[in-house]
Amino acid sequence: MISQNVLGRLSAGANLLAFSHGIDSTALFYILHEAGVKFDLAIVDHNAREQSKFEVESAKELASKFGKKIYIKSVNLGKSNFEKNAREARYEFFGEICQKFGYENLILAHQFDDKFEWFLMQLGKGAGLKELFGMSELEKRERFWLVRPLLNLRKKELQNYLDERGLRYFVDETNLDGKIKRSFVRLNFSEPFLDKYFSGVKKSFEFLEADRQNLLPNITKTDDEIFIIKNDSNVVRGVDMAAKELNVLLSKAQKDELSANLAKQTSVVLSGKIAVGYANEFVLVTPFCKAVMPKIFKEKARILKLPAINRGYLFAKGIQIENLSKFFSR
């Protein structure tokens, strides 16, 4: 059930499963266990349903039975923008646990139905290729990987897996509430469509993913905060991706500013934080930093043809700039 790419990633470090005890995450728990993957659990109680207390207690029992650590957080959120705030609370908690305890992989239980729902919702908003295909098996974040082993399976397959084995899970009845946008899309569009055309949709996603790979920016990461991006038709998207890893979200106006500067073959600082250095064939992206540099460093950087806007950061961080020569000193 789990691809070799995912198994390879999960065997390379400590794993944390984002758990809710619903169908998807419960099935993933047992699938991972059967595959011999070691992992711990994290669960958030939103205190929005009476049943949530039972879900957390059952999760604690499951963790104890299988000898796993479990991290629990209880939050109280207002009704306004509940879905968005709940999601942010979960991911903030999961990120904190990964960082504090050294988990390298955060395992998520998104499945094919979720992937198609996301596609339709983004399509309805008006989105580009990157946003339409927001879910992938492996996704690198700043301090850990997001891993989604179930993207090729439907929810009903996971439910059958649990029912056939008599395994306990919980159903969140709010997912059946057609007043919630995502539930509305699921009940009225994605689920009926997949029931009829799943094999064709799955094949289409495979073709589209292959096409997307050909359109991805060419990015080389030489250090945690140093990105070298090929200056081609995908360069703006590449800078946007690098900026996100540096915890800066670029607005449309900033992307337009970036495009205008690159068209003029000039460097630019975005949000006062991101230095985008123009260098003909490549663009160098680093945090922006002012520094007093000795003459010998300035001369070496000039000879290597490193963009001036990035030199302060490279000097302040003690980067061996000779290692960048193959990209810029041409």
Write the secondary structure of the chain as one string of H (helix), E (strand) and C (coil). Answer: CCCHHHHHHHCCCCEEEECCCCHHHHHHHHHHHHCCCCCEEEEEECCCCCCHHHHHHHHHHHHHHCCCCEEEEECCCCCCCHHHHHHHHHHHHHHHHHHHHCCCEEECCCCHHHHHHHHHHHHHHCCCHHHHCCCCCEEECCCCEEECCCCCCCHHHHHHHHHHHCCCCCCCHHHHCCCCHHHHHHHHHHHHHHHHHHHHHHHHHHHHHHHHHHHCCCEEEEECCEEEEECCCCHHHHHHHHHHHCCCCCCHHHHHHHHHHHHCCCCEEECCCEEEEEECCEEEEEECCCCCCCHHHHHHHHHCCCCHHHHHHHHHCCCCHHHHHHHHCC
Looking at the structure, tell me whether residues 233 and 316 fall in a common domain.
yes
Looking at the structure, tell me whether residues 182 and 315 fall in a common domain.
no
**How many domains is the chain built from?**
2
Supply the pLDDT for residue 155: 97
Looking at the structure, tell me whether residues 12 and 134 fall in a common domain.
yes
Q: Which residues pair with 18 in a beta bridge?
A: 42
- Mean pLDDT for 223-237 is 92
Supply the pLDDT for residue 174: 73
97-141 per-position pLDDT tens digit: 999 999 999 999 999 999 999 999 999 988 877 778 778 899 888
Looking at the structure, tell me whether residues 131 and 168 fall in a common domain.
yes
60-98 per-position pLDDT tens digit: 999 999 999 999 999 988 777 888 899 999 999 999 999
pLDDT surpassing 70 at residue 225: yes
Mean pLDDT: which of 96-100, 212-216, 222-226 is highest?
Answer: 96-100
Looking at the structure, tell me whether residues 249 and 178 fall in a common domain.
no
Supply the pLDDT for residue 216: 81
Looking at the structure, tell me whether residues 115 and 232 fall in a common domain.
no
The parent domain of residue 250 ranges over 219-328
9 band by pLDDT with thresholds 50, 70 and 90: very high
Supply the pLDDT for residue 326: 86
- Mean pLDDT for 3-27 is 95
Q: Which of 138-152, 171-185, 253-267 has the lowest mean pLDDT?
A: 171-185
pLDDT surpassing 90 at residue 319: yes
Looking at the structure, tell me whether residues 164 and 248 fall in a common domain.
no
Mean per-residue pLDDT over the chain, rounded: 92
Phi, psi (5° rounding) for residue 91? Answer: -70, -30
**CATH number of the domain encompassing residue 142:** 3.40.50.620
Please give the model's pTM, rounded to 2 decimal places: 0.73
